[in-house]
C-alpha cells in the first residue's frame, strides 16, 4: 500500500531542528558547531559511494578530535585533504555539499582551527545571557519591561526603556526589532512580538516623566542634527547635567524619523510629543544649518564638545539619461516634502519607484496615498532579493503597488514638453550567486518602456560632509570615521555617530550610537555620571503551553491607502497579556540567573 | 501575601518568595546543591526540582516564584526520579575517589548520593583532567568540580575580584581561572572564600600536614606551634567534642600530644603587633609629613589585594608585620636566645584560619638569616583534625592545659584580632593609653563591632579627633578605598580584613555547607575578651618582659629591624603578583 507521507515525522523533525538552529544565538565554538553539523549531515548519506559514506564519518571524527583539542597539524591537514576528496569525488550533492561546508569552514574559521590545534584553546568564545538584550544595539532591558507589562505596570515599563532608549514611542512603531531575531522563545514556538509590546506599553502608560537631571556641570555640548542619534546623545548628556544645544537644519526635530518615515508608520504628533518631552531643558535651534547658517569652526569654539549626528540625507542618483527631467525626484525629497506639508499631487498619475529597500516601499506607499493611479516598484533583482523588510513589501503590494522585478532602468523617457513619459528598462535574468546574493545580468531581449508620469529614485542615500571640510575630519567611502564611542581619532572634543558614520542604517543603531557617545562625552568632560534605574522587576512564570505569536493587526488596505493615519492597530490588552506571558525570562533563567540578568546602570 | 499549598500544607507566604523560601518557611526540606542564598541563585544543578500542579515540566524550587493558588509537590516519585537522574549526570563528571577527598563526610554531593540511594551510575564517566600547580596554597581539582558556579560568584561578589570565570562554550563550558591563566598569574589573594563555599572537594588548601609531621619526627629540631585567635572558636567544630571541652586549653593539650616542643598563642604576638602598630599610629598622627590614613597590615589576603589592585597605597600600610610573622621572628630570636636554641634548628608552625597565611609565611624571610623563613609551615584549622588523627591524638581524652611560657600569655585585645573590627579595637585601647597615659574603659570602643561591611567611628584621643574605619570583604574594602581616593571620606586609621566577619570567617576555617559561621565564632571571641582580667595589650606582662629582655621598646631600632617591613619593598622582592618563592 502506498503511504502518502512516509517521512512526515522526519520532516517535522527537520523543521523543528532548523527552526531551533535559526532561533538560537550563533554563539557556539565554530569548530564544535561544524563537527556537530557534519555529524548531522552524514546521517543523510545514502551509503552508496565511498567518499560520502566513509569520508563524511572520517571528517566528523577529525573535527571532533580538533574541537576537543586532541588533534595535531597532521589531523588538520588530513581534514582538509579528505574534505577536498569528498567534494571532488562523491557521486552526488549529499556528500559534495556536506564536505563543502567543512572546506568553507576551514577557510572562514582558520583562526579557530589554529587555536584549537596549536594553543589548545577555544578562541573568541562568548556566552550570551539574554539574547534580546544582547541583540538590541541600545541594550534595552527587554525581559524587564515585558515583565512590567505583564503585571500592568506600564509607566514603569516605559521608564525602564527610557534608561537605555529615550525614544520608546518611535521605536514601538518603527524599530527593526533585532531583539526578536534570536528570541529564545523561538526555540519553542516563535519569537515574542517585542516591538508590539513596547508599543502597547507606550500607549497605555499614563504618565511619562523624565528622571531628574544631575547637578549642572557648566559644560556645554553642541549637537549637529536632531535625529535619533543627536536626540539620544542630547537627552542623556542633559540628564548628566551638561548644557546641551541641538542645531537642526529642518523646521522640526526627528531627522529621518520625521522626514524619512511616513506618518502612517510614525504619526508626527506622537513623534512631536516624544521629542518635546526628551528635549526638556535642552536648547533647540531648528532651521539652523551648520555650514550654511553657522560655521562649524565657530560651533567648535563655542562648545566644550561638538557631537556630529547629521545623518545620511543626500540622494543617490541613477546616472541615466533623462534623470534631470521634471517629474523625476528622489524618494528622500518626496518623503521630506510630504512630511513638511508640501506634498506633490499625484492624482491620476502613474508612478515608477526605482529601488528595493525600505525607503522605496515608503515612497511607493506614500505615492499611493498621494492619489497615484498606479505605482510600479522597479527593481533589478527579484522580490526575494529586496532589502526591504518583508512586511513592508507585503504592505505595499496590499495597497496596490506592483512589483516590476528584474528590470534595470537605462533611461527616463520624456514627451515633447520634456515631461516624463516612461522609464526605459532592460529586462534582467537572475544568475550566478556571489557572496550569498543572486546577481542579475542583462537578459537576451530588447529593452522595454514602463509608461509613467513620475519617477521616484530610491537607491540609497549618502552623507553631506561639506559643513565639516574646514575641520579636516577623517572619512572613508563618504562617511566620517569614528569608533563605537563616537570618538574621532586625533580630534579631541569632536564626536560623531549615527548614519553620518555608518551610512544608512536603522533608528535603533543611531540611538545606540547617541547613547555610547553620551557616555564617552561625559568621560571626556571628566565625569563618570551613571544613568540608572531603581525599578524592581517582578518575577513571572513563563507560559508553558506552546502558543503562537500575536502580531499587530493593520487597518484594511482599502481603508488605509487614502490617508496618512497610523496603519498599525495596537495590541489589545488580551493580546498583550498573552504575548508578554510567553517571555521565557532569560534574565532569570539560563545564564541570565548567573550573570544577574540585567544592567541596572550604564 | 499569596496562598499556596506545598505537600498538602496550605499557607500564606510573601509574594516575592520562591518555592524554596516558601518550603523552608513551612519546614519542608527541598534538597539543593548549587544554591547559596543571595550569593549563588543560579538554578544550575537542577536538584531542587519540584512538581507544580498544572505544569508539565518540573520547576527548580530555587528560582520559581510562588503565585496565588500554587500547588507544589516536593517529594513525588517523579521529583525523586528527576533528582536522582540529575545526580547521576553530575556524578558522571565527578571523580568519586571519596576515600582520599578532604571533603569526604562533609560533602553535599556525597550526602545527596546517599539520600537518593545511588550505589552505581548508568552513564559513562567524563572527568576533567587539568594540571594544577601543587605548590600553590590554593588547589583546585577540576575533576571534582560540579560547576555549581559558587566560586565564581563568591569571588566576584564578596571579594570583587573575578579570579574564577566560565571558560569554554556549549557543553564544554566549565569553571576555570578567567582568561585561561594559571593561579600565579591571577590577582588571587588566596582568601579561599571559594573553598569555604565549595559544596564538594574541588577546592581546598595545600595539604602541609606531612611537612609538619616531618618536623616533629626529626629529633634534632625544636618545634614551636602558634595558634591564631580565631582558631580557638572553631577548631573543635569538626571533631565532635562536647561543647564544654572545646576551650583553647584542650587544644593546647592536643597539640602537646602531637609532639610540639612548645605550644604558644598567636594572640601573644597580636599584643606585640598592637604595641608596634599603636606606636606607629601615634607617631604618624604626630607627624604632619606622615602618610595617612594608615591601614592595618595583619591580613595577608588584604596585602595581596593592595599589591595587585592599589599598589599606590602600599606606603599607607602599617609597616608592622602580622602577628604570625612577628611570632615566627620572635621564636627564632628572643625565644631561641632565652632558651639557648639554635635558630636554624627551630621550626615555627602556625595553625591559622587562613590559606593566605601559607603564602605569607613562604614569602617572608627570617630577618637574621634570610635563607630561612620566620614561619616554616602553616596549617589551616581544617588541616588540624588530620594532624591530630595522624599523630593518634585521642580527642576524647583531652584535658584543659595552658599554653607554654613565655609566648603563651595574651590579652583579650589579642583574642579579638580574629574578628572584624578587633584589631582596630585592640589598637584603640592601647593608643588611648599611649596618648592619655591612662587606660580607657576596655569596652569604650564597642560601637565599632558588628558585621556591617563598612563601619566607621570617631573618638577623641588626647584632645584630638581620631577618625577610623573598618571594612571586611574586599568588595567592601574596594568601595571604602575608592571613597578615600576620591576624597569623599577622611580617616586616620583603617582596618581591613579580607574575609567576611574577619578571621573567624576565614578561608581556612571548617566548612558547614550553606552556613555562615563567622558571627557565632566572633561572639565567642568577644565573650572570652570580656571574661579575662587582662584586656590591654600594653599590660601583657610577657610582652613587656620581651621588650625589657630583648626588643628594648616599641618602635626601637631593634624592634623596627625585626618586626617591621616595607610592603613596597616586599612588592619588589616578590614581584607584583607575590609569586611563591
Give the whole-angstrom CA distance, residue A494 versus residue A489. Answer: 9
Smallest CA–CA distance from B38 into chain A, residue: A596
Within 8 A of A588 by CB-CB distance, chain B residues are: 63
Identify the domain boundary among B32, B60, B91. B91
The verdict on a CB contact (< 8 Å) between B149 and A125 is no
**pLDDT at position B568, please?**
66
Contact assessment for residue A31 and residue A109, using Cβ atoms and an 8 Å cutoff: yes
Identify the domain boundary among B190, B205, B220. B205
| Mutation site, B63, B169, B173, B177, interface A, largest A CB count within 10 A | B169
Examine residue B580 and state whether it is found in any structural domain, yes or no: no
- Whether residues B373 and B419 share a domain: the answer is yes
Q: Is the dihedral of CA B17, B22, B25, B31 positive or negative?
A: negative
% of chain B at pLDDT higher than 90: 84
Helix or strand (DSSP H, E) at B52:
strand B49-52
Q: What are phi and psi of B148, to 5 degrees?
A: -75, -20
| pLDDT value at B313 more than 50 | yes
pLDDT tens string A24-59 = 888 788 999 999 999 999 988 888 888 888 889 999
pLDDT tens string B143-182 = 999 999 999 999 999 999 999 988 877 777 889 997 778 8
Reduce the DSSP state of residue B283 to 3 states and report it: helix
% of chain B at pLDDT higher than 70: 98
CA distances from A483 to A94, A176, A490, A497, B384 (A): 44, 23, 12, 8, 58
Examine residue B351 and state whether it is found in any structural domain, yes or no: yes
Reduce the DSSP state of residue A258 to 3 states and report it: helix
- Whether residues B503 and B520 share a domain: the answer is yes
% of chain A at pLDDT higher than 70: 98
pLDDT tens string B517-570 = 999 999 999 999 999 999 999 999 999 999 999 999 998 999 999 999 987 665
Domain ranges of chain A: 28-119, 131-209+536-595, 220-304+463-524, 315-461
The verdict on a CB contact (< 8 Å) between A544 and B180 is no
Section B38-63 average pLDDT: 92
Give the whole-angstrom CA distance, residue A150 versus residue A573. Answer: 10
pLDDT tens string A82-95 = 999 999 888 899 99
Section B305-334 average pLDDT: 95
Examine residue B565 and state whether it is found in any structural domain, yes or no: yes
pLDDT tens string B472-482 = 999 999 999 99
| Residue A225, all three cell numbers | 542634527
The verdict on a CB contact (< 8 Å) between A589 and B43 is yes
CA distances from A227 to A291, A381, A487, A495, B224 (A): 17, 32, 19, 15, 76
Give the whole-angstrom CA distance, residue A359 versus residue A354. Answer: 10
Helix or strand (DSSP H, E) at A18:
helix A8-23
CA distances from B532 to A325, B82, B275, B412, B438 (A): 105, 55, 19, 7, 19
B168: distance to nearest CA of chain A, Å?
A: 6
CA distances from A409 to A400, A438, A470, B392 (A): 22, 18, 38, 98
Contact assessment for residue A399 and residue A557, using Cβ atoms and an 8 Å cutoff: yes
Q: How buried is A331 (Cβ within 10 angstroms: 0-12 exposed, 13-18 middle, 19+ buried)?
A: buried
Identify the weakest region by mean pLDDT among A119-128, A304-313, A413-422, B374-383.
A119-128
Contact assessment for residue B284 and residue B262, using Cβ atoms and an 8 Å cutoff: no
Examine residue B581 and state whether it is found in any structural domain, yes or no: no
**pLDDT at position A469, please?**
87
Identify the domain boundary among B171, B205, B239. B205
pLDDT tens string B489-522 = 999 999 999 999 999 999 999 999 999 999 999 9
pLDDT tens string A141-198 = 999 999 999 999 999 999 999 999 999 999 999 999 999 999 999 999 999 999 999 9
CA angle A168, A169, A175 (to 5 degrees): 70
Domain A28-119: state its class.
Answer: mainly alpha
The verdict on a CB contact (< 8 Å) between B153 and A125 is no
Name the one residue in this structure whose C-alpha cell is 635563607: B371
| Range of the structural domain that residue B117 is part of | 100-205
Within 8 A of A127 by CB-CB distance, chain B residues are: 166, 169, 173
**pLDDT at position A124, please?**
58
CATH of the domain at B115: 3.30.70.20
CATH number of A131-209+536-595: 1.10.1060
Task: Tell whether B32 lies on the interface with A, counting CB pairs under 8 A.
Answer: no
Residue A383's CB is within 10 A of a number of other CB atoms, namely 16
The verdict on a CB contact (< 8 Å) between A593 and B63 is yes
* Long-range contacts formed by A592-596: CB under 8 A, 24+ apart: A592/A129, A592/A130, A592/A143, A593/B41, A593/B42, A593/B43, A593/B63, A594/A129, A594/B42, A594/B44, A594/B149, A594/B152, A594/B153, A594/B166, A595/A129
**pLDDT at position A518, please?**
97
- Whether residues B443 and B481 share a domain: the answer is yes
- Whether residues B73 and B119 share a domain: the answer is no
Examine residue B387 and state whether it is found in any structural domain, yes or no: yes
A123: distance to nearest CA of chain B, Å?
A: 9
A476: distance to nearest CA of chain B, Å?
A: 35
Biggest distance spanned by C-alpha atoms of chain A: 87
Examine residue B579 and state whether it is found in any structural domain, yes or no: no
Residue B349's CB is within 10 A of a number of other CB atoms, namely 26
Output Rg (C-alpha) for chain A, integer angstroms. Answer: 27
Residue A350's CB is within 10 A of a number of other CB atoms, namely 19
- Whether residues B71 and B105 share a domain: the answer is no
pLDDT tens string A544-578 = 999 999 999 999 988 999 899 999 999 999 999 99
- Whether residues B219 and B201 share a domain: the answer is no
Interface of B with A in 138-197 (CB under 8 A): 149, 152-153, 166-170, 172-173, 180
Section A238-262 average pLDDT: 96
pLDDT confidence tier of residue B36, bands split at 50, 70 and 90: very high
Examine residue B191 and state whether it is found in any structural domain, yes or no: yes
Reduce the DSSP state of residue B81 to 3 states and report it: helix
pLDDT confidence tier of residue B581, bands split at 50, 70 and 90: very low
Contact assessment for residue A307 and residue A517, using Cβ atoms and an 8 Å cutoff: yes
pLDDT tens string A355-411 = 999 999 999 999 999 999 999 999 999 999 999 999 999 999 999 999 999 999 999
Smallest CA–CA distance from B147 into chain A, residue: A594
Cα B298 off chain centre by: 13
**pLDDT at position B575, please?**
42
Contact assessment for residue B378 and residue B254, using Cβ atoms and an 8 Å cutoff: no
Give the whole-angstrom CA distance, residue A516 versus residue A503. Answer: 17
- Whether residues B386 and B478 share a domain: the answer is yes
Q: What is the pTM of this model?
A: 0.83
Within 8 A of B43 by CB-CB distance, chain A residues are: 589, 593
Cα dihedral value B452, B458, B459, B460, nearest 10: 180
Name the one residue in this structure whose C-alpha cell is 539620544: A232
The structural domain count of chain B equals 3
pLDDT confidence tier of residue A256, bands split at 50, 70 and 90: very high
CATH of the domain at B545: 3.40.950.10
Cα A256 off chain centre by: 14
Phi/psi zone of residue A156: left (φ > 0), alpha (ψ -120 to 50 degrees), beta? Answer: alpha
Contact assessment for residue A185 and residue A192, using Cβ atoms and an 8 Å cutoff: yes
Give buried/exposed letters for A567-583 (b at 16+ CB in 10 A, else e): bbebbeeebbbbbbbbb
Section B94-99 average pLDDT: 94
Task: Tell whether B488 lies on the interface with A, counting CB pairs under 8 A.
Answer: no
pLDDT confidence tier of residue B574, bands split at 50, 70 and 90: very low
CA angle A205, A207, A213 (to 5 degrees): 125
**pLDDT at position B573, please?**
46
Q: What is the DSSP string of B154-196?
A: HHHHTTS---EEEESSGGG-EEEEGGG--GGGS------HHHH
Of A122, A126, A588, the CB nearest to B63: A588
Mean confidence (pLDDT) of chain A: 93
Superfamily of domain A220-304+463-524: FAD/NAD(P)-binding domain (3.50.50.60)
Helix or strand (DSSP H, E) at A76:
helix A73-89
Bridge-based pairing of strands B377-380 and B203-205 is unpaired
CB-based contacts of A340, cutoff 8 Å, min separation 6 = A250, A251, A259
Mean confidence (pLDDT) of chain B: 93
Section B239-249 average pLDDT: 84
- Whether residues B370 and B495 share a domain: the answer is yes
Domain A315-461: state its class.
Answer: alpha beta
Cα A402 off chain centre by: 25
Q: Do domains A28-119 and A220-304+463-524 have the same CATH topology?
A: no
Of B43, B149, B169, the CB nearest to A125: B169
**pLDDT at position A126, please?**
66
Reduce the DSSP state of residue A534 to 3 states and report it: coil
CB-based contacts of A449, cutoff 8 Å, min separation 6 = A413, A422, A423, A424, A425
- Whether residues B426 and B503 share a domain: the answer is yes
Examine residue B567 and state whether it is found in any structural domain, yes or no: yes
**pLDDT at position B173, please?**
82
Residue B557's CB is within 10 A of a number of other CB atoms, namely 9
**pLDDT at position A51, please?**
87
Give the whole-angstrom CA distance, residue B535 versus residue B527. Answer: 12
Tell me the ipTM for this assembly.
0.73
Amino acid at each position: 500500500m502506498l503511504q502518502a507521507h512516509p517521512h512526515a515525522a522526519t520532516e517535522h523533525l527537520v523543521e523543528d531542528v532548523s527552526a531551533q538552529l535559526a532561533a538560537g544565538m550563533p554563539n557556539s565554538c565554530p569548530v564544535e558547531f561544524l563537527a556537530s553539523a557534519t555529524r548531522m549531515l552524514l546521517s543523510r548519506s545514502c551509503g552508496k559511494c565511498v567518499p560520502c559514506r566513509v569520508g563524511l564519518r572520517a571528517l566528523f571524527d577529525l573535527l571532533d578530535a580538533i574541537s576537543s583539542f586532541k588533534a595535531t597539524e597532521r589531523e588538520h591537514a588530513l581534514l582538509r585533504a579528505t574534505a577536498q576528496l569528498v567534494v571532488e569525488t562523491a557521486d552526488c550533492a549529499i556528500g559534495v555539499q556536506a564536505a563543502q561546508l567543512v572546506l568553507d569552514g576551514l577557510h572562514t574559521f582558520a583562526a579557530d582551527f589554529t587555536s584549537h590545534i596549536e594553543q589548545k584553546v577555544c578562541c573568541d568564545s562568548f556566552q550570551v545571557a539574554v539574547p534580546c538584550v544582547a541583540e538590541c544595539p541600545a541594550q534595552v532591558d527587554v525581559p524587564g519591561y515585558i515583565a512590567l507589562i505583564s503585571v500592568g505596570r506600564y509607566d514603569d515599563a516605559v521608564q525602564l526603556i527610557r534608561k537605555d532608549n529615550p525614544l520608546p514611542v518611535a521605536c514601538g512603531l518603527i524599530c527593526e526589532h533585532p531583539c526578536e531575531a534570536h528570541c529564545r522563545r523561538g526555540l519553542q514556538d516563535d519569537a515574542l512580538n517585542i516591538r508590539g509590546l513596547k508599543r502597547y506599553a507606550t500607549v497605555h502608560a499614563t504618565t511619562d516623566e523624565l528622571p531628574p537631571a544631575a547637578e549642572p556641570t557648566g559644560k556645554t555640548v553642541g549637537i549637529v542634527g536632531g535625529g535619533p542619534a543627536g536626540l539620544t546623545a542630547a537627552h542623556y548628556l542633559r540628564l548628566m547635567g551638561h548644557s546641551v544645544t541641538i542645531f537642526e537644519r529642518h523646521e522640526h526635530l526627528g531627522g529621518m524619523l520625521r522626514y524619512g518615515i511616513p506618518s502612517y508608520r510614525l504619526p508626527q504628533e506622537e513623534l512631536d510629543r516624544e521629542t518635546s518631552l526628551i528635549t526638556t531643558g535642552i536648547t533647540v535651534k531648528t532651521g539652523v544649518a551648520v555650514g550654511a547658517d553657522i560655521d562649524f569652526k565657530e560651533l567648535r569654539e563655542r562648545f566644550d564638545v561638538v557631537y556630529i549626528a547629521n545623518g545620511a540625507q543626500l540622494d543617490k542618483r541613477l546616472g541615466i539619461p533623462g534623470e534631470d527631467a521634471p517629474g523625476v525626484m528622489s524618494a528622500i525629497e518626496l518623503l521630506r516634502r510630504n512630511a513638511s506639508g508640501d506634498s506633490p499631487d499625484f492624482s491620476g498619475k502613474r508612478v515608477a519607484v526605482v529601488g528595493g529597500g525600505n525607503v522605496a516601499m515608503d515612497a511607493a506607499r506614500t505615492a499611493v496615498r498621494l492619489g497615484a493611479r498606479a505605482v510600479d516598484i522597479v527593481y533589478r533583482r527579484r522580490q526575494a532579493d529586496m532589502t526591504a523588510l518583508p512586511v513592508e513589501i507585503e504592505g505595499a503590494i496590499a495597497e496596490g503597488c506592483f512589483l516590476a522585478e528584474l528590470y534595470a532602468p537605462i533611461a527616463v523617457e520624456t514627451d515633447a514638453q520634456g515631461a516624463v513619459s516612461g522609464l526605459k528598462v532592460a529586462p534582467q535574468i537572475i544568475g550566478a550567486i556571489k557572496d550569498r546574493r543572486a546577481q542579475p545580468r542583462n537578459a537576451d531581449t530588447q529593452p522595454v518602456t514602463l509608461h509613467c508620469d513620475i519617477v521616484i529614485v530610491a537607491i540609497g542615500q549618502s552623507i553631506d560632509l561639506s559643513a565639516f571640510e574646514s575641520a579636516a575630519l577623517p572619512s572613508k567611502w563618504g562617511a566620517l570615521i569614528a569608533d563605537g564611542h563616537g570618538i574621532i581619532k586625533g580630534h579631541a572634543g569632536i564626536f560623531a555617530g549615527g548614519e553620518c558614520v555608518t551610512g544608512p542604517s536603522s533608528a535603533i543603531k543611531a540611538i545606540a550610537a547617541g547613547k555610547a557617545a553620551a557616555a564617552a562625552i561625559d568621560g571626556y568632560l571628566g565625569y563618570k555620571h551613571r544613568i540608572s534605574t531603581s525599578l524592581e522587576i517582578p518575577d513571572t512564570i513563563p507560559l508553558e503551553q506552546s502558543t503562537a505569536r500575536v502580531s499587530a493587526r493593520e487597518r484594511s488596505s482599502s481603508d488605509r491607502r487614502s490617508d496618512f493615519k497610523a496603519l498599525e492597530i495596537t495590541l489589545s490588552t488580551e493580546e498583550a497579556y498573552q504575548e508578554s506571558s510567553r517571555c521565557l525570562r532569560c534574565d532569570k533563567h539560563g545564564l541570565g540567573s548567573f550573570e544577574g540578568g540585567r544592567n541596572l546602570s550604564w | 501575601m499569596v496562598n499556596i499549598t506545598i505537600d498538602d500544607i496550605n499557607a500564606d507566604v510573601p509574594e516575592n518568595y520562591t518555592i524554596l523560601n516558601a518550603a523552608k518557611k513551612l519546614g519542608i526540606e527541598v534538597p539543593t546543591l548549587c544554591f547559596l542564598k543571595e550569593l549563588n541563585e543560579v538554578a544550575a544543578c537542577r536538584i531542587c526540582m519540584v512538581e507544580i500542579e498544572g505544569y508539565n515540566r518540573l520547576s527548580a524550587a530555587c528560582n520559581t516564584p510562588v503565585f496565588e493558588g500554587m500547588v507544589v509537590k516536593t517529594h513525588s516519585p517523579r521529583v525523586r526520579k528527576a533528582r536522582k537522574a540529575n545526580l547521576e549526570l553530575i556524578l558522571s563528571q565527578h571523580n568519586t575517589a571519596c576515600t582520599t577527598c578532604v571533603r569526604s563526610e562533609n560533602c553535599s554531593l556525597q550526602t545527596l548520593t546517599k539520600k537518593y540511594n545511588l550505589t552505581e551510575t548508568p552513564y559513562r564517566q567524563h572527568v576533567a583532567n587539568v594540571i594544577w600547580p601543587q605548590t600553590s596554597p590554593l588547589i583546585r581539582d577540576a575533576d571534582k568540580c560540579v560547576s555549581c558556579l559558587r566560586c565564581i560568584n563568591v569571588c566576584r561578589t564578596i571579594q570583587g575580584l573575578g579570579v574564577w570565570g566560565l571558560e569554554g562554550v556549549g557543553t564544554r563550558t566549565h569553571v576555570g581561572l578567567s582568561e585561561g591563566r594559571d593561579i600565579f598569574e591571577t590577582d588571587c589573594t588566596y582568601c579561599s572564600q571559594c573553598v569555604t563555599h565549595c559544596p564538594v572537594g574541588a577546592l581546598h588548601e595545600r595539604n602541609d600536614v606531612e611537612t609538619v609531621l616531618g618536623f616533629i619526627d626529626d629529633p634534632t629540631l625544636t618545634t614551636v606551634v602558634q595558634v591564631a585567635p580565631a582558631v580557638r572558636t572553631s577548631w573543635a567544630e569538626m571533631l565532635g567534642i562536647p561543647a564544654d571541652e572545646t576551650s583553647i586549653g584542650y587544644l593546647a593539650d592536643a597539640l602537646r600530644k602531637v609532639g610540639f616542643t612548645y605550644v604558644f598563642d598567636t594572640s601573644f604576638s597580636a599584643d606585640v603587633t598592637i604595641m608596634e602598630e599603636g606606636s606607629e599610629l601615634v607617631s604618624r598622627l604626630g607627624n604632619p609629613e606622615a602618610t595617612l590614613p594608615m591601614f592595618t597590615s595583619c591580613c595577608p589576603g588584604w596585602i595581596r589585594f593592595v599589591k595587585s589592585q592599589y599598589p599606590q597605597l602600599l606606603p599607607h600600610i602599617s609597616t608592622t608585620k602580622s602577628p604570625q610573622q612577628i611570632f615566627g621572628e620572635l621564636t627564632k630570636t628572643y625565644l631561641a636566645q632565652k632558651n639557648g636554641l639554635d635558630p636554624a634548628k627551630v621550626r615555627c608552625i602556625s595553625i591559622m584560619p587562613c590559606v593566605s597565611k601559607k603564602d605569607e609565611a613562604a614569602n617572608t624571610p627570617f630577618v637574621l638569616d634570610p635563607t630561612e623563613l620566620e614561619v616554616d609551615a602553616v596549617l589551616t584549622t581544617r588541616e588540624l583534625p588530620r594532624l591530630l588523627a595522624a599523630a593518634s591524638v585521642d580527642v576524647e581524652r583531652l584535658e584543659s592545659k595552658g599554653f607554654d611560657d613565655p609566648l603563651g600569655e595574651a590579652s583579650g585585645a589579642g583574642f579579638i584580632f580574629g574578628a572584624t573590627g578587633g584589631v582596630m579595637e585592640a589598637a584603640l585601647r592601647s593608643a588611648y593609653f599611649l596618648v592619655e597615659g591612662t587606660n580607657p574603659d576596655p569596652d569604650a570602643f564597642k560601637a565599632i563591632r558588628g558585621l556591617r561591611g563598612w563601619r566607621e567611628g570617631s573618638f577623641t584621643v588626647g584632645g584630638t579627633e581620631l577618625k577610623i574605619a573598618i571594612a571586611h570583604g574586599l568588595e567592601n574594602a574596594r568601595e571604602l578605598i575608592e571613597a578615600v581616593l576620591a576624597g569623599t571620606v577622611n580617616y586616620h586609621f583603617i582596618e581591613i580584613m579580607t574575609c567576611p566577619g574577619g578571621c573567624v570567617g576565614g578561608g581556612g576555617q571548617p566548612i558547614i555547607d550553606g552556613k555562615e559561621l563567622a558571627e557565632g565564632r566572633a561572639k565567642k571571641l568577644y565573650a572570652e575578651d570580656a571574661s579575662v582580667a587582662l584586656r590591654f595589650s600594653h599590660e601583657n606582662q610577657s610582652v613587656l618582659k620581651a621588650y625589657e629582655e630583648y626588643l628594648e621598646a616599641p618602635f626601637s631600632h631593634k624592634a623596627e629591624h625585626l618586626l617591621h617591613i616595607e610592603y613596597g619593598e616586599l612588592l619588589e622582592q616578590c614581584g607584583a603578583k607575590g609569586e611563591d618563592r
